[in-house]
Amino acid sequence: MAEPPAPPRFSLRQLAYFVAIAEAGTLSEAAARLRISQPAVSLALNDLERALKVQLCVRRKAHGITLTPSGSSLLVRARRLLREAEDLEAEATGTGTLTGVLSLGCYVTLAPTVLPPLLQGFAALHPEVTVEFAEDTQDVLQRRLLRGELDLAVIYDMDVMPEMARTVLFSVRPHVLLPADHPSAGLPEVSLRDLAEEPMVLLDTAPSAHHTLSLFHRFGIVPRVRHRPTGYETARALIGRGMGYGILVQRPANDRTHEGLQVVVKEIAEPIRAEPVLLAWPRHMSLNHRAREFLRFCESRGGPG
């Protein structure tokens, strides 16, 4: 008969304290977040390092802690173990109620129109789940997914890392955004070639700028970029003031800028594809119960609204 596996020399509590330390950056801040004393946090870190026989972080007075390579590696696995342990506890209790925290990322320009209906709809089904969300660029969101900081992220199908698994939620076709008094504002569609000599407002938030410029390159057109805002609403505001046109993907329902100026959406005359919006997660990580339910919920909606 095989010998039973030896229990680990560390505890889940020690892992939880280590994750809190890594995320807080200092022992004192971690202690405050955990609502325990700083010596207790320090002792747990010492015991974990002793159990694993490796240094997990470097402590510097007045500069907080810095993870070692071993600490960075453990952080990803610790987050995963803690989420799996939370799932195990929920399934063992058999309450049938989904609880805990779901960490969701969303590409910054998608967030205003995509996140609210998703959060509201999911909360109606699972009111005991807390959804913590982060808005950022796609490169940052994907790095955070790989580090285990996020469970899932809503992103465009642009510059997606090969390490990502994904499912398509819906697709949106890029459009031209014009000020209301533009000569082409009354046309059903606008050619990129007709805009080539006009000033352009280029949303410079990765990967938006690369995607927009690639559309022009595909048809041998070089746009005249005048402004490179990194904020979606800033881009709309500049366009509303007649300072250029823009190529955007996300389509808010409101055709007014924050100043009340009207902007006009026009279809692009050239043949271009609709851009898929994805829900992504790392291939090598198993989705916890909350993430699986959120994925199922998103797939059942079949659209952005």
Condensed to tens digits (0 to 9), the pLDDT of residues 221-262 reads: 999 999 999 988 999 999 999 999 999 998 877 788 888 889
CATH topology of domain 174-272: D-Maltodextrin-Binding Protein; domain 2 (3.40.190)
Q: What is the mean pLDDT of the chain?
A: 89
- How high is the pLDDT of residue 90? 67
Selected residue with higher pLDDT from 205 and 153? 153
CATH, domain 12-76, list 3.40.50.12280, 1.10.10.10, 1.10.1380.10, 2.40.10.120: 1.10.10.10
Mapped onto helix, strand or coil, the DSSP state of residue 81 is: helix
Question: What pLDDT was estimated at residue 205?
Answer: 87
Whether the pLDDT of residue 176 is over 70: the answer is: yes
Closest CA to 122 of 87, 98, 91: 98
- Which tokens in the block code for residue 95? 């309450």
User: Side chain identity at 104, as an amino acid letter?
Assistant: L
- Maximal C-alpha separation, the chain: 84
Which CATH topology does 97-171+276-301 take? D-Maltodextrin-Binding Protein; domain 2 (3.40.190)
Whether the Cβ atoms of residue 83 and residue 150 lie closer than 8 Å to each other: no
- Give the pLDDT score at 161: 95
* pTM higher than 0.85: no
Kind plus residue range of the DSSP H or E element containing 281: strand 275-282
Residue type, 267: E
Percent of the chain at pLDDT exceeding 90:
57
Domain segments of the chain: what residues?
A: 12-76, 97-171+276-301, 174-272
Which residues are CB-contacts of 202 (< 8 A; sequence separation ≥ 6)? 209, 212, 213, 223, 225, 227, 228, 229, 235, 246, 247
Asked, colleague to colleague, whether 12-76 and 174-272 share their fold, the answer is no
Query: What angle, 0 to 180 degrees and rounded to 10, lies between the N-to-C axes of helices 38-52 and 27-34?
Result: 110
Alpha helices in the chain (DSSP H): 12-24, 27-34, 38-52, 69-93, 111-125, 138-146, 192-195, 208-218, 232-240, 289-301
74, 217, 219 from 168: Cα distances, Å: 31, 26, 27
- For 107-116, the pLDDT digits (tens) are 998 998 899 9
Q: What pLDDT shows up at residue 286? A: 83
